[in-house]
Structure 1
Amino acid sequence: MRIVAGSARGRRLEVPKGVGVRPTAGSIREALFSSLGPVVQQAVVLDAFAGSGALGLEALSRGAQRAVFVEKHRGHLAVLRRNIERCGFAALSDVVSGDVLAFLAHNPKGHCFDLIFLDPPYGASPLESALARIAAGRWLSAGGIIVAEHDAGHLPALPTALHFTRTRTYGNTALSTLALQGAAHEEA
């Protein structure tokens, strides 16, 4: 797996080993970032359920200002940190070791992200809980975008504060973009 475009284009990323690990394919990442376009530039990014960090690292490579990566598995954290170093983004990255839902439970520092990637494991997915906590904790900036990767056969239920702007399907995988209700926002 490699970074598709930007300053770290072509850099090879290590993929965590283990059951349930399914990094976002390069072709899907390329389609996603092409659709996001200039939204990524200077964005403050949250890569939740980070795994290899491919989504956050791709955003940094394409001009994002900063990325916070949240991952709870120790083995995945080691891979994530190596990938950040390999791409040269250590100064632009913060790694949080812990559960995404616990991280999103409280926002005492008032963190606000322009772009949030949610790519939880399929199956007993915490996606709906994560979306509810993002909305309740005011983690998303007024014009911000959430990109949620999920099984194409299951559209997640949304809290009333969020709405779908688009869902694209790639085989068994779907990418849904979401925004705050009433936010002035172009379709991503």
Structure 2
Amino acid sequence: MRVISGDKRGLHLKAVPGSTTRPTTDKVKESIFNMIGPYFNGGVALDLYAGSGGLGIEAISRGIEKTIFVDQNKKAIETINHNLAQCHFHERAEVYRNDAARALKALIKRELAFTVIFLDPPYAKQNLANEISIIVDYHLLDENGIIVCEHDSQVELQEEIGQAIKERTETYGDTTISIFTYK
């Protein structure tokens, strides 16, 4: 697993030890950023099920100003912090150990709006439609922002969820990427 492009291109990232997380493959990560960027001119990202932090770190490497990383797994938080230190990105990141629902409530209170939101939950615990609804209902997504959902290819997300519309879907083996924006 590595940073694909940008300032830290080629830098290897540590994976979360054990089998509780499923890292996004380099091929899928590259495809995601080709769909949504590939580069950014500032902005703030949210990596809600951060795992190793690979998606959020890739976003910073490609020009996102700051990323908020959230994961409930202690080993994941340690791995994110290790990878951020290796990339010298700590000053451009916030890292929180929390579950997704509580994290979204906390972010609503901060009145933040994100340029990019990455939702890559464990396939067995996906609640993407509900999380997308919360994100758009509480304006956690910037007016021109993008929600990137990585999910099992057996899961079919609706074309519209609240004020969000599915702009694009691509499947890579057992993984599907669905991109949502405001209607």
| TM-score scaled by length of structure 2 | 0.93
Q: Structure 1 39/87 Cα, relative in aligned 2: closer, same or farther at 3 Å?
A: closer
- In 2, the alpha carbon distance for the partners of 1:100 and 1:58 equals 21
- In 1, the alpha carbon distance for the partners of 2:176 and 2:59 equals 19
Matched with 2:64 is 64
Q: How many residues align?
A: 181
Query: Aligned-residue CA RMSD in angstroms?
Result: 1.4
Alignment of 1:31-180 (within 5 A): 31-37=31-37, 40-106=40-106, 107-157=108-158, 158-180=160-182
The superposition leaves residues 43-96 of structure 1 with CA deviations (integer Å, 9 ceiling, x where unpaired) of: 210011001000000000011111100111111100110001111101100111
Per-residue deviation, 1:156: 2.5
Per-residue deviation, 1:21: 1.4
How many percent identity over aligned positions?
34
- In 2, the alpha carbon distance for the partners of 1:103 and 1:84 equals 20
Instruction: Say whether the 8 Å CA contact 2:39–2:63 is kept in structure 1.
Output: no
Structure 1: which 4+ aligned runs deviate by more than 4 Å?
Answer: none
Instruction: Say whether the 8 Å CA contact 2:36–2:146 is kept in structure 1.
Output: no
Instruction: Say whether the 8 Å CA contact 1:45–1:115 is kept in structure 2.
Output: yes
Q: What residue identity is the alignment partner of 2:117?
A: I
Q: What residue identity is the alignment partner of 1:23?
A: P
- In 1, the alpha carbon distance for the partners of 2:133 and 2:35 equals 25
Q: What residue identity is the alignment partner of 2:165?
A: H
| TM-score scaled by length of structure 1 | 0.91
